[in-house]
Structures are given as structure tokens and as C-alpha cells.
A and B are shown apart, each in its own frame.
Chain A
Amino acid sequence: MMDYQDPRVEVWYRGASRDEPSSSLDAAITAAAHLAVGARPVLHARRPRPVWMVPLAAAAVLVISVTVLRLAPEEEVLPLKDAAREAPMAESTAAPPAKPQPLAGKAAALNAVSPPLMQAAPAASPGAVSKRAITPSEEPKRAGPASEEREAKRERLAAEPAETSRAAAATTAGAAPPASQPAPAPAPAPAPAPAALSARSAPAALAPPAPPAMQLAEQAPAGRRDTSVGETTVAEARKEKSAQEGKLSAPRQAAEPQDARAPVLRKGLGAGSAAADAQPLPPEAWIAKLLTLQAAGREAEFLAELAAFRRAYPQHPLPPPLEAALVRLPAEAPRPFPGQTPR
């Protein structure tokens, strides 16, 4: 053996010295070598991903996707539901119903079914004219696409505080206040009152309070007292409801557009008055007839007619001579109870 070699030292050395460069250093050098010759670097240092990671990741993605899909529709619908819940509250004082287009369609259908009656009514009450003067401007909005309805709902929600307070006031004061008291816009009215119409376009804080219905009626000419916007919309709503029930009779159709207190009128009509059931006259014509009877001194007939009129139109404003004659009516004559809520 050569004296500059010792196998035992070599074994000792090799057995004890096993140091090697780190894997990151190996990776860096080999990557540099591969890049130098334009080859794709081999990532020695990258540890293979565990097999269980792929199915676990897929399952996690699936669960998250399903959860998001199940939650997302609720999040989208919730505001609409809320808006739908709050809309009636706002609409009770100001906003139009969600289905005004069918209203117009039903009105047209009613015109087609009983043209003479429906044509007579507008002639007798110019309120129909005022109604038609308002509805065309409203109907394009009502007949608009769903997005426009949503926009309108948003605007109504923005104006909700003022309208809600008004609705609360209407609820406490009753939906059908006495004719002698200045009342806010009728609560059940589905169509916009003038104040509500202004509230739509104006901010809630600037929205003026709805003028009392009686005040509107007094501002109107005597022949047009029943033609205010609020009354017209009440009649509209009544028409819709009656049409839905399929119980709309021809005489009622003729009377409804001119009726100022529709819910009470229905009650009066339901009382079985022969005069009312048998094609009651329009209020103006009836008042003219009553004045004629009073002037003619036909007291019994006048009182009977006045009682029938009151039953048919319990809250219709009367001229002073007839108002004064109300005290002479029999006790059983239906008189509107202050704050009575119409059924």
C-alpha cells in the first residue's frame, strides 16, 4: 500500500462526511444551466403536490359554488320583497297600484260591454274627463317595462318617510273621514293623489302634504266636486275589484265613476234600497231632482228621495238647502258616522 493512501482513513472520512448542497442551490444552478442553453428549466426543488389536494380543492370549490348560488338569489330578491312589502304602505297614500295597465284595459272592456252607461257617465260627470286628462300621462309609466316599475318603486321608497307618516295619519284618522273635516288623501286609494304625484318627483322632505279631499272638492266647481283625482282613482280601484269579483252590475258601473265615497256606497247599495238598486241617478241629476222636489213643495217625496240619495251617496256633498233638509230625514236614514271605516 502506498503511504499516501490509507483505506481506513478514507472509510472514516466518507462515512462521516455526507454534506451536500441544499436542494434550492441545486435548483438554482440547474435552472441557470438550462436557461443558458435555452432549455426549459427543470424544477428539482418543487415537491410534488399530495394526491389528496386535488379532490379536496375540487370539493371546496363545489361547496363554495353551491353555497354562493343558494345565497345569491335570496340576496337579490330580498330588496325586491322588502320593496314589495313597503310599496303597499307607500301606495296606500300616494303610489299607484302595480297593475294600472289592467285597470285601463278593464275600463276599456267595461266601455265595450255597456257603452251607453259608460258613455253617459262621462257626460254627466266631467270627472271622467279629468281622469282621462291625468291617466294618459300616467299610463306610459304604468305600462312601462319592469325596469321602469323598479325605478318607480325606488323613487317611492325614497319618498317613503313622508308618505309613511301620512299613511299613519290616515290610519289613525280613518280611511273615510267625515266630509266636513279636512282629511288627508284617502288611505286606501291605490291611485296617486296630487300630493303623491308631486312626492314622486320631489324629494320626500320637500313633498307637500296631501290636500284634504274635501278641500279639493270645494275648490272644484259645484258640478265637478266628484271629479277630483282622488275620487277618480277610488272609482278606478273599485272598478278593478268589482271586475275581479265578477259582480259588477251595469247600474253600478254607471254610478261608480262619479262616486265620491265608493266603499260606503257599496254598503248603501247592499242595504237593499229600491231606489238605489234600480238604477240610481247620477248625483248631480239626483240633486237637481231633489231641488226640484223641494222647490215644488213635495215634502214627502222630497224626503224619500233625499233619504234614498243619502243611502246611495252617503258622503256626497249637498247644496245648503239639501244639507239643511237632512235633519228632517227619518232616524233610520244612513248617516255617515264620523271616522267610520268603510267596509
Chain B
Amino acid sequence: MNESEDASDEDLMLRYAAGEAGAFDRLYARHRGGVFRYLLHHCGKRSAAEEMFQDVWMNLIKTRTSYVVTARFASFLYRCAHNRLVDYYRAQGNVFEVSADEEEGTGVSIAELPADPAGDPAKQAQSRETGEQVRAALKRLPGVQREAFLLQQEAGMSLAEIAALTGVPAETVKSRLRYALAKLRLELAELAT
């Protein structure tokens, strides 16, 4: 394993900003799937996701020289993606704001959500679920919960990082994640039956 493969995202970004094209290739290979799925599962449209995906990376290329390491590179990258999503929803006329009603809109309390479904959901998911079902389940989640879940799964962000990106307290993020997981478990339970 050479030095480039061990290099951090931040280091690779700095090297790319300095003119090393190969650093961008490695950086892109690391994050291309996560960013794309984040956008795709968020908006639910592949064409829109591809357009936003290209915009995110093109914006990164353009602003490479102004990149300063203040946080993890993933936070920087997903912030770009998040902002692009906000623009997309604004252009669509949809509201991406978080409301208390949205978090509570399911009409199901956390206590009522299935905590630990019996059986092996992983096996059930692997055998029955498809990508379409996952997308459908994610689409049924409120936007803020979906975003918190996707940022956690695709970007590997911590509560603090998600909170910093979304501009809400970490406890709010934790709450969103709990609701999201509970609903997804319910979906899994329905699929299993």
C-alpha cells in the first residue's frame, strides 16, 4: 500500500489544489458513491441526482485553491451536496425546512415503533429487499430525518458533524435519527411479513 492510498482526504484535496491530478482521482473514488446515493435517495430522481452530483464535484474543482482544512473533507463535500439539494428543493417549490409537525407527523411515538424486530432482518433484507424498496422506504421518511440518516450512513458523520451541517443541535439530530431508524425498522418488519 503506497503513500497515496494512506493519505487522508484533506491531504489529497490539498495535493489536488496544488496541481496533482492523481490526488483528485483517489478522492473521487472514495466519495463518489456516497455523495451520489446521498443525492439520489434524497431527491428520488436519478437524473436530478446526476445533475446535482456533477455540480457538486465541479464546484469542488473550481474552489480547490480556496480549500482550507477546517474540518473533515467529507463535511466540506457533503455540505456542498446539501446546499445543492436545498437549491434543488427551492427550485422545485418544496420546503426543506424542519418542522415539529414533520418530526411528529407520523402519528407514531417512538415507543410504539418496533425497537428490535424478531428474526434476522439482515437476512430478510438481503433476500427480499431491493434497491427500489429501500428508496421507497427512505422516501416515506420526512426530509430532515432522511437527511440525517443518509449523512450518517453515506458520509459517516457523527452527530456533531450532522448538527453542524444542518445547523441544528446534536440532540435534534439524534432525535431525527431515532425516528428514522424506527420507521425503517417498521418498513423492514412489513417487508418480512
Decide yes or no whether A120 CB sits under 8 A from chain B. Answer: no
**Are B188 and A9 in touch, CB under 8 angstroms?**
yes
A4 to B149, CA, bound (A): 9
Contact between B177 and A17, CB atoms less than 8 A apart: no
Which listed segment binds A: B1-9, B33-41, B69-77, B100-108?
A: B33-41
Known contacts being A9-B185, A21-B36, A30-B28, is A4 close to B159, with CB within 8 Å?
yes
CB of B153 within 8 Å of the partner chain: yes
Contact B122 A6, beta carbon cutoff 8 Å? no
Q: Does A6 contact B181, Cβ atoms closer than 8 Å?
A: yes
Prevailing SS type, chain A contact patch: helix
- Is B184 part of the contact surface with A, judged by Cβ < 8 Å? yes
Residue-wise, chain A 208-252 has the 8 Å CB interface mask toward B (1 for contact) of 000000000000000000000000000000000000000000000
Q: A4 contacts B178, CB within 8 Å? A: yes
CB distance from A7 to the nearest CB of B (A): 8
Residue-wise, chain B 161-179 has the 8 Å CB interface mask toward A (1 for contact) of 0000000000001100110
Interfacial chain A residues near B41, Cβ < 8 Å: 17, 19
Q: Is A16's CB within 8 Å of the partner chain B?
A: yes
Q: Which of B19, B37, B122, B126 contacts A17 (CB 8 A)?
A: B37
Contact of A33 with B28 in the complex, beta carbons under 8 Å: yes
CB of B61 closer than 8 Å to a CB of A: yes
Interchain CB contact under 8 A, A13 and B32: no
Q: Distance (Å) between the CB of A27 and the closest chain B CB?
A: 11
Near B by CB (< 8 A), chain A positions 1-44 give: 3-6, 8-22, 25-26, 28-30, 32-34, 36-39, 42
B48 to nearest A CB, angstroms?
Answer: 13
Cβ of A338 to closest chain B Cβ, rounded Å: 100
Known: A15-B125, A37-B16. A21 touches B131 (CB 8 A): no
Nearest CB of chain A from residue B16's CB, rounded to whole Å: 7
In the bound complex, residues from chain B placing their C-beta under 8 Å from that of A33 are 16, 21, 24-25, 28, 57, 61
User: In the bound complex, do residue B129 and residue A12 qualify as a contact, i.e. CB atoms below 8 Å apart?
Assistant: yes
Could you tell me how many residues of chain B have their Cβ less than 8 Å away from some Cβ of chain A? 43
**Interface size on A (CB < 8 Å)?**
32
**Binary contact readout B124-163 vs A (1 if CB under 8 angstroms, 0 otherwise):** 0110011101110000000000000000110000010000
Minimal Cβ-Cβ distance residue in B for A1? B116
Are B125 and A12 in contact, with the CB atoms below 8 A?
Answer: yes
Known: A4-B174, A19-B40. Contact between A37 and B20, CB under 8 A? yes
Contact of A34 among B21, B122, B129 (CB under 8 A): B21
Given the complex, which residues of A lie within 8 Å of B20, measured CB to CB? 37
Complex CA–CA separation, A42 to B153 (angstroms): 30
In the complex, whether B53 has a CB less than 8 A from a CB of chain A is yes
CA distance A22 to B159 in the complex (A): 31
* Nearest CB of chain A from residue B12's CB, rounded to whole Å: 12
CB of B16 within 8 A of CB of A16, answer: no
Residues of A contacting B129 with CB < 8 Å?
Answer: 12, 15-16
| Interface pair B131/A42, CB less than 8 Å apart | no
Find chain A residues with CB under 8 A from B126 CB: 11-12, 15-16
Asked whether, in the complex, the Cβ of A16 is within 8 Å of the Cβ of B54, the reply is no
Bound complex: CA of A25 vs CA of B39, how far in Å? 14
Tell me if B125 and A38 are in contact (CB < 8 A). no
Q: Across the interface, do B21 and A37 meet the contact criterion of CB distance under 8 Å?
A: yes
User: A29: which B residues are within 8 A, CB to CB?
Assistant: 28, 54, 57-58, 61
Add 10 more A-B contacts to A25-B54, A30-B24 (CB < 8 A). Answer: A9-B181, A9-B188, A11-B121, A12-B122, A19-B46, A20-B37, A21-B32, A21-B36, A22-B50, A36-B62
A interface residues with partner B (beta carbon < 8 Å):
3-6, 8-22, 25-26, 28-30, 32-34, 36-39, 42
Ordered by A's residue number, 6 sampled pairs between the chains whose C-beta atoms are within 8 Å are A6-B181, A6-B184, A19-B33, A29-B57, A37-B19, A37-B20
